[in-house]
Amino acid sequence: DTEVTQTPKHLVMGMTNKKSLKCEQHMGHRAMYWYKQKAKKPPELMFVYSYEKLSINESVPSRFSPECPNSSLLNLHLHALQPEDSALYLCASSQDDPGNTIYFGEGSWLTVV
Amino acid sequence: EDQVTQSPEALRLQEGESSSLNCSYTVSGLRGLFWYRQDPGKGPEFLFTLYSAGEEKEKERLKATLTKKESFLHITAPKPEDSATYLCAPQRGANNLFFGTGTRLTVIP
């Protein structure tokens, strides 16, 4: 089972709203990731959690706030977003060793209005 | 500065017409070179990881190869269901995939 589950699949939010994206994996992976993908562009790394601790933050604006409540769950809290933040947000997970396969979920489509 | 370039940007093939996709990279501390397939509106689907120059891996009609500066994804006798965007991603450091812009493949019946 190589499944990473993301909810919701689609989200529309206003610029003053607070919402969250959720991600879950049951593969025993200890590294979890958030990527952002704009249309016709490659995925861009936002955050990496390793053993439930934030290990990489690619200079992401503070209106995006990640959280890793336990080794199976990863959240991305959204607040005061801008229309240009509209994108596909991808969660991924892997074992925490370099070179290990990184598995992606189907993504959450976010539209900011 | 780390760089990864994929070519061509788009490729149209007739069904059965074999071809190759190129990924050129300059990445310090390379830990592995990943290939993914991505269908529109979906997350990337893992295909291969290559770790050292000279390594080759195959899966159905796909074969990936690696040199010190390039990786190739060879597609033999493609079918329409192979139509997708193919992404190359060198891994730099721990847990840090750096994606190329992809090759959008269309296979025409």
CB contact under 8 A, B100 and A109: no
CB contact under 8 A, B45 and A104: yes
> Is A31 in the B-facing interface, judged by CB distances under 8 Å?
yes
CB contact under 8 A, A43 and B102: no
| pLDDT bracket for residue A2 (50, 70, 90) | low
Residue A24 identity:
E
At A12-28, the pLDDT tens digits run 999 999 999 999 999 99
Residue that the structure tokens 């190759």 belong to: B20
Residue B2 is predicted with a pLDDT of 85
Nearest CA in chain B to A3: B45
Strands (E), chain A: 4-7, 10-13, 18-25, 31-37, 44-50, 53-57, 64-70, 73-79, 87-94, 103-104, 108-112
Residue A55 is predicted with a pLDDT of 92
d(CA A13, CA A26): 29
CB contact under 8 A, A99 and B51: yes
d(CA B90, CA A33): 16
pLDDT above 60 (res A1): no
At B66-104, the pLDDT tens digits run 998 999 999 999 999 999 999 999 988 777 888 999 999
B73: its two tokens: 């994804």
> Is A30 in the B-facing interface, judged by CB distances under 8 Å?
no
> Is A88 in the B-facing interface, judged by CB distances under 8 Å?
yes
> Is B99 in the A-facing interface, judged by CB distances under 8 Å?
yes
Between vectors from CA B80 to CA B74 and to CA B83, what angle results, nearest 5°? Answer: 60
Mean pLDDT, range B13-19, rounded to an integer:
98
At A74-85, the pLDDT tens digits run 999 999 999 999
CB contact under 8 A, A99 and B49: yes
